[in-house]
Structure 1
């Protein structure tokens, strides 16, 4: 876990005001309370993403929530696909794999 001051320093910020604004906007959700925030690895990664969006890519403050929402959707989809993959590799999923293969080959068409 990382404190807000350490995180801000890692991001190259002179103080923690910008990170506090991200917390107030609900862009980053650390553990703890104001003055006692603790940032997990995922929070630090998200803070770096926000920093890069704002400072390196010039994404406007108004657009950041949309970008974060899309990134969250992408990661949710990846987690769902990974769960599906884990089910499909099970030895008892032969019939399911065959049915899925047929559906994927034919798309919306009825086989």
Structure 2
């Protein structure tokens, strides 16, 4: 899969970029936020942290909504197949329910 190749290249590239910035610091400024403190003024640090927290919350909301949508699509398929068992030709991918045993022949 092409996406997995790009992910591997990106994962390898992250430490290379990090260490190149630290080794050749004549082209780049040192890290602004580190474990030992910050070199950013508080007027810039607070908005950066607020945006980071907001982005994480928004990503979590999108993840929950997508998961909810997937769960609802499976449950609506199950309800439709119980109401009209003649149209139960679609395969379920993730969950298995034995709807065929309740059919009368």
Q: TM-score, normalised by structure 2?
A: 0.33
**Of the two, which has the highest radius of gyration?**
2
Q: TM-score, normalised by structure 1?
A: 0.32
Query: Which protein has greater RCO, CA pairs closer than 8 Å, 6+ apart?
Result: 1
